[in-house]
């Protein structure tokens, strides 16, 4: 137990991480000759849109000496890790949620056994950003010689509904790594839904599942295979039955038994009877599937944030959103583009028709700009509201929301905007659509801004952008439900009721979650709202039972909603001890991480992406503050003392990597000494990347008719993170790794309105160090 | 007893050393005892273990024939090119030896001799008297030639040097990879064992250089100790290799070694000690018996009676009483402060400590070393300001500003001015911009005006190059970083990178010509005009043979483009690329190490010295003589002098004296 080191860290390794990869130290890829995935079982339970995915993996070591490894799991967007455990022989070592302060104390205590500093690399994110990323990473040591290591992981996620359709994907396909093969893979899937389902499909062809139940309200299937290549994500898709029109369903959960105090709690509160929880889920009809809506002319003002804080992924995602948005507009639509940082720069004095030429010019306008420090969001919003009114106006804000000039307080800025927005005649008030990018997006502010007849969509720096972007763009031109409310008759014990979505569009589900303190035999719930100005009301009758254990995810869902509300209050009114205490209590009780808690089982590493180049790389290390000396032992010989930089609380040295040091993963050892003279050592890896990605692109044809598509097949260097193809007038295509083709593949659709002629397809690959390589290929577009 | 090569007992020294010993005064007599014991030990060992060595020789003779390395034996008596003047770097020592009646210290700068009173008695500088490679270890021994004791010096990059007291000879392996040595151990048989970085343990028998044994090949050797019959080999990552009676045993962490990286070795009869980064292992009769000094960074070892002294990287010297039931560490004062202890010796019956900057005993320096005019040896940037002051940036030691006479300097070093990449001057305003790994430091009138970082609008803190361009009343500053470019202009700061069209984010070099800006990156060259990317050049669409651009120099209306791996190519105003036929093969131009005059273009290379392009003859030649290192890292020209910064010191030479033939 003493030697067990388990470090749970959120890291910006992001797209390096795949689902359940255990990388031996010093290996850039999973290597079954060293560590094989002997067993894997996946248990998926979806209860009315609440998905809980539990994964158990057993890795076998084929080495005669103990190993260390790094476990990486790329979380699907907006999912929450709810459990992680590693087994040390017969002992299960679970991760625990702790108050941040307590976690730091523990960190100090465990430090005497092992200190785990991180490597920082110039040009990457800073340490704060490491706290908020989508890759779950745990360092696993020791893995005994010829032994096995069992890991367990659980996460929860909400399954979104768009246009009555839902898609759930469990990531198994490699992103950065080679395909893993599971010696044995078992999958159990179980879904229940109060709303009737239809057209349930298992999208993954690689896993021949055995369907044992496929009913409107319940689906069960299993898979059991040996030597299974994990070359495809496990995806399921289904449609909510909308024939019945608007429809309300009520779920309840109550376990009156007081929960046992957490073993790590230093001062456990007295046990209390547990409240009950309910969820009211309204299926909002009014959207016809299969028939594209007739697009009325729109006027769109896009606010594009190009301040310095948008550097890297945020800017790329912002641009991707802009490009997709503008290219989705029809020539009857009008648009203008305002770029903002410290100042606001306008593409055009007034909105212009969204012709392909105007769109390309607007995109070029962005590319020709430069990033500038500072963000005056107030000035940008002001300029957008001042644009000449057009039909069905939209204000689309693409930003991380980090205001540094003008009004910068969230509540004040939101208040100012709402007041300014309301000053306009009702028909000229733009629907405020916000596409937030980045792990550090200022969601509280952006949420408030989107409340002005708009929606908010948030994509993190590292998660795939397509699904959310498509959902966001799909809502432009459609109107959300307004003034959605939940009413209840037959009880007065309901409390703490929160909506689970800010805006709901026809074709999706609007849910509320709340508590009840007293059971009741018959309660009438009514959802009420306005669709296109018309009142829509639907009711359901349900009991509030004394005991019902059918929906165990409701308490955590409620707790998360309660915490979100408390965080919004803190953001609006400032911190207060009662709110903080409640957040910590809920976080620990229902197991999810908040800004006031940490999830750890041992010292947390700030393991950084560490791509460097031969020549004169920098080695930067963060350690516990008690460390007084750090010495680096490089694999090629030199021993370097690191210098402490007080301003950055970072140790740094510079070293010359020899010219013959090959690109790849290398290990540097750090020997640290604390004030007491205790010595600790730690190994860290770094990657030498001296070459930008090399791109080789091929098209399946060199002539294509307008309205047709062509396929791209691109091979790129191993370190490549993204591959994107662009062509004038066409939507950009993000190519995906196709294990069967052993290439990155994608299909580009040539717009039907594109003028015939010769066009250039530019394929750009970017690696983890933001090095880019590109290749241009010509194609002839025929009438 | 000491931890130099060939440890023996004092009573067993032989007569050959006595004549030398009688002439040594008290001051270094005891030191002489310790050092000469090596030599005496070698002769004792020769007679005492001849039988064992025969077996050893039999085992290795065959291998020597099979695994021989071709060498050049070069007398080092060539005249130094005239005009090269070294700007003294601080003394830095790695080893000590008593030889031929003098006390010698070696280090990256060369070999320093001292007389019996500790006064300087000779200096042999690398690049001038010696090949341009740091000296790492040395030992006295009788080679196979039978001409008596010689000083054998292992170098990092130039093979083996032999000094007979008057002249040097270089034994240079033909293959460059074999030239980086780490340790030297003269054997009683007259053969010299050499530890190498890439080729394991080598043996020099006076005629041929060969691999000692296949089992010791491809090992990164860090230390050697013992005898032919009982050889100990320290390695970088494989622990200790113990060779005894034709058998080799590997002892590493699984066998109880504190750490697989061995930093020092000491062998004394049946006892041996291995110093590692995490403590010392004690061996008795070849078996690991216990670990001493857990966590001690044991760089050097000395055994005196029942006490083991351990020289460390930053904790000075620590003593370990070996007879104690539970040996406890005792830090002792040594005069070297917390400096890195390179070697421990006995001097006048008391401990002497060779630190990087000198030899100390009882807290006092024992030898007189000459004053330095620079703070460090590892130069990364050079520039001369309008007052004629020389600005010297260091790899990781900040910055010196030397007066025009090069006699006095001001040193700047803090959290920002630490790892210097480039220094640029703007003569009109007297501004100096110092690009560092932790921001851009702006100097004026010898003081730091401001340090610009991300907080001030830079796209990244690591500034790799900087360009100052006056624009009327304003100064435009272009900053290169691994994340793109930042322009500091009158309108404020703005940044661009690959998103905006740069060929790659990682920018290494900048140069301007009229309104054009050339941006050298890891992934090719971008040409900007009026701040907008106009062209991108890579190996795929140009005459570039390597995408990684490290230096750019405008020459007339052409750009000389230095690359990392493919030398220099030329780009003219019409966008035509021209290679240089006399620059073939792999050639790394160091970042921003290029400068041009009317006469020539100079480029600093990694490992091939100074590349010189005659503008008149239109051809390149390479200069290494006169340089302290073949790694030329920084260049500048002022007042007719070419200043040449290297990884091992600084020289200047009147430009007219630089051969362009």
DSSP string, B221-290: EEEEEE-SSEEEEEESSS-EEEEETTEEEEE-GGGT-S-S-EEEEEEETTEEEEEETTEEEEEETTEEEE
Shortest alpha-carbon distance between residue A367 and chain B (Å): 5
Say which of B314, B492, B500 has its CB closest to residue A372: B492
CB contact under 8 A, B505 and A770: yes
Assigned token pair, B204: 């020099």
Contact predicate B342/B311, CB 8 Å: yes
**Interatomic CA distance for residues B336 and B352, integer angstroms:** 10
Do residue B499 and residue A319 have CB atoms under 8 angstroms apart? yes
First-residue to last-residue Cα distance in chain B:
54
Strand partners, B234: B223, B240
Phi, psi of A645 (to 5 degrees): -100, 105
Per run of 10 residues, the mean pLDDT along chain A (length 783 residues) is: 29 39 71 89 93 91 78 70 73 62 49 33 31 53 79 86 86 68 94 92 89 95 93 87 86 81 52 86 75 71 94 87 92 95 95 94 94 93 93 95 91 94 94 89 90 87 72 85 91 93 87 95 95 90 94 91 87 81 85 70 33 61 82 92 87 84 79 84 72 85 93 85 86 83 90 89 79 85 91
Interface list for A 278-337 with B (CB within 8 A): 308, 311-312, 315-316, 319
Maximum C-alpha span of chain A: 79
Q: What is the 3-state secondary structure (H, E, C) of A231-297?
A: CCCEEEEEEECCCCCCEEEEEEEECCCCCCCCCCCCCCCCCCCCCEEEEEEEECCCCCCCCCCCCCC
How many Å lie between the alpha carbon of B567 and the closest alpha carbon of chain A? 14
Residue B418: its chain A contacts at CB < 8 A?
A: 643, 645, 652
Question: Minimal Cα distance from A618: which residue of B?
Answer: B437
Closest-CA distance, A539 to chain B, in angstroms, reads: 52
Residue appearing with tokens 């009683």: B188
- What is the C-alpha to C-alpha distance for residues A558 and A515, in angstroms, rounded to an integer? 8
Integer CA distances (angstroms), A754 to A323, A502, B52, B385, B593, in order: 16, 38, 88, 59, 50
Residue B290: closest CA among B266, B273, B268: B273
**DSSP letters along A604-666, please?**
PP-----EE-SBS-EEEEE--TTEEEEEEE-TTS-EEEPEEETTTTEEEEE--B-TTPPSEEE
Q: What residues form DSSP beta bridges with A67? A: A143
The closest alpha carbon to A377, from A468, A445, A440, A315, belongs to A445
Say how far apart CA B154 and CA B135 lie, in whole Å. Answer: 6
The token duo for B74 is 């070069």
| pLDDT score, position A118 | 29
Splitting chain B (661 residues) into consecutive groups of 10 residues, what average pLDDT does each group show?
29 28 34 35 33 40 62 85 87 92 93 90 91 95 82 96 94 93 94 95 93 90 94 96 90 93 94 95 94 92 93 89 72 60 87 89 81 90 96 96 91 94 94 96 93 92 94 90 92 90 92 95 92 90 91 96 95 94 92 96 95 96 93 96 96 92 74
What is d(CA A368, CA A645) in angstroms, rounded to the nearest whole number? 37
> What length is written for chain A?
783
- Interfacial A residues in 621-680 facing B (CB < 8 Å): 629, 631, 633, 635, 637, 639, 641, 643, 645-648, 652-654, 656, 659, 669, 671, 673, 677-679
Q: Would an 8 Å CB–CB cutoff place B535 in contact with chain A?
A: no
The closest CB to that of A679, out of B278, B461, B606, belongs to B278
Q: Is A771 on the interface with B (CB under 8 A)?
A: yes
Q: List the end-to-end C-alpha distance of chain A, in Å, as a whole number.
A: 71
- Residue B218 has a pLDDT of 87
Residues of A in contact with B461 (CB under 8 A): 122
d(CA A754, CA A356): 8
Across the interface, do A648 and B415 touch by the CB < 8 Å criterion? yes
What region does B404 belong to: left with phi over 0, alpha with psi -120 to 50, or beta?
A: alpha
Q: Which structure tokens are listed for B358? A: 């000198």
Q: How far is Cα A498 from Cα A514, in angstroms, rounded to an integer?
A: 6
Is B496 touching A (CB cutoff 8 A)?
yes
B542 touches chain A (CB under 8 A): no
- Could you identify the residue written with the tokens 């700061």? B493
Chain A residues whose beta carbon lies within 8 Å of the beta carbon of residue B588: 659
Q: DSSP string covering B575-623, please? A: S-EEE-TT--S-EEEEEEEEEE-SSEEEEEEBSS-EEEEETTTTEEEEE
Q: Tell me the sheet residues that pair with A137.
A: A9, A72
A613 close to B (CB below 8 A): yes
Is A372's Cβ below 8 Å from some Cβ in B?
yes
What is the phi/psi pair of residue B418, to 5°? -145, -65
The secondary element (H helix, E strand) that includes residue B63 is helix B50-66
CA atoms B372, B373, B374, B378: torsion sign: negative
Half-sphere exposure of B530 (CA within 13 A, CB side): 1
Tell me whether B136 touches chain A (CB under 8 Å). no
């Amino acid at each position: 137990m003493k030697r067990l080191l388990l470090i749970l860290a959120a890291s910006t390794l992001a797209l390096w991480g795949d689902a359940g990869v255990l990388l031996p130290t010093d290996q850039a890829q999973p290597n079954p000759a060293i560590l094989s995935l002997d067993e894997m079982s996946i248990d998926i339970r979806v209860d009315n849109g609440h998905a809980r995915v539990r994964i158990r993996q057993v890795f076998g070591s084929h080495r005669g000496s103990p190993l260390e490894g790094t476990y990486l799991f790329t979380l699907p967007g907006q999912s929450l890790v709810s459990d992680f455990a590693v087994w040390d022989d017969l002992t299960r070592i679970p991760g625990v949620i702790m108050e941040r302060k307590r976690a730091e104390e523990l960190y100090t205590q465990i430090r005497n056994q092992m200190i785990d500093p991180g490597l920082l690399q110039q040009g990457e994110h800073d340490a704060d950003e490491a706290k908020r990323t989508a890759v779950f990473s745990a360092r696993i040591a020791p893995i005994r010689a010829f032994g096995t290591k069992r890991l367990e992981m659980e996460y929860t996620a909400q399954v979104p509904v768009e246009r009555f359709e839902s898609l759930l994907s469990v990531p198994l396909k490699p992103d950065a790594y080679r395909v893993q093969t599971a010696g044995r893979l078992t999958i159990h899937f179980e879904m229940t839904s109060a709303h009737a389902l239809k057209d349930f499909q298992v999208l993954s062809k690689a896993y021949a599942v055995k369907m044992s139940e496929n009913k409107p309200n319940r689906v069960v299937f299993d898979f059991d295979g040996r030597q299974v290549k994990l070359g495809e994500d496990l995806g399921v898709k289904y449609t909510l039955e909308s024939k019945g029109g608007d429809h309300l369903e009520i779920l309840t959960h109550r376990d009156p038994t007081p929960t046992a105090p957490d073993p790590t709690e230093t001062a456990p509160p007295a046990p209390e009877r547990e409240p009950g929880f309910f969820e009211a889920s309204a299926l909002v009809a009014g959207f016809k599937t299969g028939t594209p809506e007739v697009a009325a002319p729109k006027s769109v003002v896009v606010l594009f944030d190009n301040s310095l804080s948008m550097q890297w992924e945020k800017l790329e995602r912002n641009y991707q959103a802009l490009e997709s948005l503008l290219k989705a507009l029809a020539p009857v639509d009008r648009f203008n583009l305002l770029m903002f940082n410290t100042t606001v720069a306008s593409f055009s004095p007034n909105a212009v028709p969204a012709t392909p030429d105007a769109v390309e010019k607007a995109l070029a306008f962005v590319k020709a700009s430069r990033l500038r420090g500072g963000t005056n969001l107030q000035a940008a919003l002001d300029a957008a509201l001042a644009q000449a009114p057009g039909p069905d106006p939209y204000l689309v804000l693409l930003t991380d929301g980090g205001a540094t000039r003008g009004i910068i307080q969230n509540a004040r800025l939101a208040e100012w905007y709402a007041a300014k927005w309301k000053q306009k005649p009702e028909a000229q008030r733009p629907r405020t659509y916000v596409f937030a990018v980045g792990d550090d997006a200022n969601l509280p502010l952006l949420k408030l801004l989107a409340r002005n007849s708009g929606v908010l969509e948030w994509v993190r720096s590292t998660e795939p952008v397509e699904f959310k972007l498509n959902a966001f763009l799909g809502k432009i031109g459609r109107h959300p439900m307004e003034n959605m409310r939940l009413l209840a008759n037959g009880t007065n014990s309901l409390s703490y009721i929160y909506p689970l979505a800010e805006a709901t569009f026809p074709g999706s589900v609007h849910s509320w979650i709340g508590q009840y303190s007293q059971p009741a035999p018959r309660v009438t719930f009514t959802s009420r709202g306005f669709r296109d100005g018309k009142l829509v009301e639907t009711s359901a009758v349900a009991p509030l039972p004394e005991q019902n254990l059918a929906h165990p995810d409701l308490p955590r869902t409620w707790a998360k909603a309660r915490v979100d509300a408390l965080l919004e209050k803190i953001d609006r009114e400032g911190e207060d001890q009662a709110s903080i205490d409640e957040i910590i209590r809920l976080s620990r009780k229902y197991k999810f991480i908040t800004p006031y808690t940490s999830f750890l089982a041992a010292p947390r590493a700030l393991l950084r992406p560490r791509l460097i180049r031969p020549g004169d790389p920098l080695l930067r290390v963060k350690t516990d503050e008690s460390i007084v000396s750090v010495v680096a032992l490089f694999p090629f010989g030199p021993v370097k003392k690191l210098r402490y930089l007080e301003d950055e609380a970072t140790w740094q040295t510079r070293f010359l990597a020899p010219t013959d040091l090959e690109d790849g993963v290398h290990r540097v050892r750090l020997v640290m000494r604390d004030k007491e003279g205790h010595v600790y050592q730690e190994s860290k890896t770094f990657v030498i990347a001296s070459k930008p990605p090399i791109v080789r692109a091929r098209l399946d044809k060199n002539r294509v008719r307008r309205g047709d598509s062509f396929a791209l097949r691109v091979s790129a260097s191993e370190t490549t993170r993204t591959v994107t193809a662009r062509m004038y007038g066409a939507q950009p295509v993000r190519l995906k790794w196709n294990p069967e083709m052993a290439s990155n593949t994608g299909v580009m659709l040539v717009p039907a309105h594109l003028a015939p002629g010769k066009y250039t397809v530019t394929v750009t690959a970017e690696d983890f160090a933001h090095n880019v390589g590109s290749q241009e290929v010509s194609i002839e577009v025929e009438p | 007893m000491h931890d130099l090569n060939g440890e023996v007992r004092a009573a067993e020294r032989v007569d050959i050393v006595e004549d030398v010993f009688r002439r040594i005064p008290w001051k270094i007599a005891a030191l002489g005892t310790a050092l000469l014991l090596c030599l005496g030990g070698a002769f004792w060992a020769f007679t005492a273990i001849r039988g064992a060595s025969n077996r050893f020789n039999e085992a290795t003779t065959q291998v020597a024939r099979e695994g021989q390395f071709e060498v050049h034996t070069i007398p080092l008596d060539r005249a130094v090119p005239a005009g090269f003047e070294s700007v003294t770097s601080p003394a830095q020592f790695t080893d000590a030896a008593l030889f031929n009646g003098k006390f010698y210290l070696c280090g990256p700068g060369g070999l320093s001799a001292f007389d019996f009173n500790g006064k300087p008695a000779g200096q042999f500088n690398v690049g001038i008297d010696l090949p341009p490679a740091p000296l790492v270890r040395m030992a006295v021994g009788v080679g196979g030639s039978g001409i008596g004791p010689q000083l054998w010096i292992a170098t990092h990059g130039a093979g083996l040097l032999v000094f007979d007291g008057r002249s040097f000879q270089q034994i240079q392996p033909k293959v460059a990879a074999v030239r980086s040595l780490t340790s030297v151990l003269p054997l009683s048989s007259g053969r010299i064992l050499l530890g190498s970085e890439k080729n394991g343990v080598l043996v020099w028998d006076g005629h041929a250089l060969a691999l000692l044994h296949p089992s010791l090949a491809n090992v990164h050797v860090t230390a050697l100790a013992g005898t032919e019959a009982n050889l100990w080999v320290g390695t970088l990552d494989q622990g200790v290799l113990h060779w005894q009676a034709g058998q080799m045993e590997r002892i590493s962490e699984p066998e109880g070694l504190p750490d697989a990286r061995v930093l020092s070795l000491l062998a004394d009869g049946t006892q041996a000690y291995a110093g590692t980064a995490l403590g010392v292992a004690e061996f008795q009769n070849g078996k690991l018996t216990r670990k001493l000094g857990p966590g001690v960074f044991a760089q050097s070892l000395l055994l005196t009676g029942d006490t083991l002294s351990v020289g460390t990287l930053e904790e000075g010297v620590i003593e370990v009483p070996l007879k104690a039931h539970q040996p406890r560490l005792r830090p002792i004062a040594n005069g070297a402060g917390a400096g890195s202890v390179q070697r421990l010796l006995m001097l006048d019956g008391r401990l002497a400590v060779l630190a990087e900057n000198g030899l100390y005993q009882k807290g006092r320096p024992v030898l007189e070393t000459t004053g330095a005019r620079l703070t460090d040896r590892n130069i990364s940037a050079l520039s001369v300001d309008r007052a004629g002051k020389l600005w010297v940036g260091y790899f990781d030691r900040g910055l010196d500003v030397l007066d025009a006479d090069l006699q006095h300097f001001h040193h700047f070093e803090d959290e920002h001015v630490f790892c210097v990449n480039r220094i640029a001057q703007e003569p009109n305003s007297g501004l100096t911009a110092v690009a560092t790994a932790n921001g851009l430091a702006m100097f004026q009138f010898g003081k730091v005006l401001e340090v610009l970082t991300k907080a001030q609008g830079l796209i990244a803190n690591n500034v790799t190059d900087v360009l100052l361009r006056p624009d009327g009343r304003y100064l435009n500053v272009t900053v290169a970083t691994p994340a793109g470019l930042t322009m500091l202009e009158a309108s404020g700061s703005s940044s661009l990178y690959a998103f905006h069209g740069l060929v790659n984010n990682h920018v290494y070099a900048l140069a301007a010509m009229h309104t054009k800006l050339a941006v050298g990156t890891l992934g090719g060259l971008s040409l900007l005009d009026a701040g907008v990317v106009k062209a991108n050049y890579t190996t795929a669409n140009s005459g570039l043979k390597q995408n990684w651009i490290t230096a750019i120099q405008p020459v007339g209306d052409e750009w000389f483009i230095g690359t990392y791996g493919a030398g220099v190519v030329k780009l003219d105003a019409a966008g035509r690329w021209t290679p240089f036929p006399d620059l073939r093969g792999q050639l790394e131009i160091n970042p921003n190490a290029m400068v041009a005059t009317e006469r020539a273009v100079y480029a600093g290379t990694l490992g091939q010295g100074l590349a010189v392009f005659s503008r008149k003859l239109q051809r390149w030649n390479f200069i290494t003589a006169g340089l302290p290192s073949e790694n030329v890292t920084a260049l500048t020209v002022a007042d007719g002098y070419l200043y040449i910064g290297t990884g091992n010191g600084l020289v200047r030479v009147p430009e007219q004296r630089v051969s362009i033939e």
